[in-house]
Structure 1
Amino acid sequence: MAFVIKDACISCGACQPECPVDVIAPGDGIYVIDENGCIDCGACASVCPVDAIHQA
């Protein structure tokens, strides 16, 4: 089950450098995770300051 970024995202970008498979990118107002490439490690969720990243 992949991780997804919810609307609470504040586009701070803290999650992007933490992703070991580089599947997080800026989207339309929030960051997005390519669920097909996500390896479900949770590294991004652990650094999100607003808890906007959850398992899908």
Structure 2
Amino acid sequence: MCAGLLPELITLDRWGYPVLAKEPVPPGLLPLARRATAACPALALLLERAD
């Protein structure tokens, strides 16, 4: 579910758990990152500000 919303940064491991890219979310993908965070099961993803 969340990987489908942001395939540029989220893949699934062989058990179906999200695996995140190591780099920060580019500004252009922030809206999709927020949607992916909201769509994933509780606490599976957390979007944090990288100041």
How does the TM-score come out when normalised to structure 2?
A: 0.54
Please identify which structure carries the higher strand content: 1
Structure 2: runs of 5+ lacking an equivalent = none
Q: Which structure is richer in relative contact order (CA contacts within 8 A, separation 6 or more)? A: 1
Deviates more, 1:24-33 or 1:34-43: 34-43
RMSD: 2.5
Corresponding residue number in structure 2 for 1:17: 4
Runs of 4+ in structure 1 displaced over 3 angstroms?
none
Identity of aligned residues (%): 14
Please identify which structure carries the higher helix content: 2
Quick one: which of 20, 23, 26 aligns to 2:12? 26
Structure 1: runs of 5+ lacking an equivalent = 1-13
Q: Are 1:15 and 1:44, in contact at CA under 8 Å, matched by a contact in 2?
A: yes
How does the TM-score come out when normalised to structure 1?
A: 0.50
Aligned residues: 42
